[in-house]
Amino acid sequence: MTGNGNLLSNPIFRYGQATMSAVLIAAVAFSLVDDTTVRAVMLLVAALDVVVTPQILKRAGEQAAADAGPHDV
């Protein structure tokens, strides 16, 4: 992890968070949903989650680091 202590600045955390939620969505889609259209939409949401969530978390981490300022680090 980087020296500033911000968890959102760690790419392993960002991609891990997105991957775990996408795996959970996919598991629910395959184990509990019978409708193929709903399952396809859920899998699309899971794929988008893996792509979009790390970018959003990165921006949030950058904003938190900017808000902290040099004296708070």
**Residue given tokens 């184990």 in the structure block:** 31
Summarize pLDDT for 4-26 with one digit per residue, the tens: 578 988 999 999 999 999 999 99
Summarize pLDDT for 41-64 with one digit per residue, the tens: 999 999 999 999 999 999 999 998
What is the DSSP annotation of 1-64? --TT--GGG-HHHHHHHHHHHHHHHHHHHHHH---HHHHHHHHHHHHHHHHHHHHHHHHHHHHH
pLDDT of residue 24: 97
Query: In this predicted model, which residue has the larger pLDDT, 70 or 68?
Result: 68
Q: Where are the domains of the chain?
A: 8-67
Q: What is the pTM of this model?
A: 0.79
- Report the C-alpha gap between 38 and 59 in whole angstroms: 31
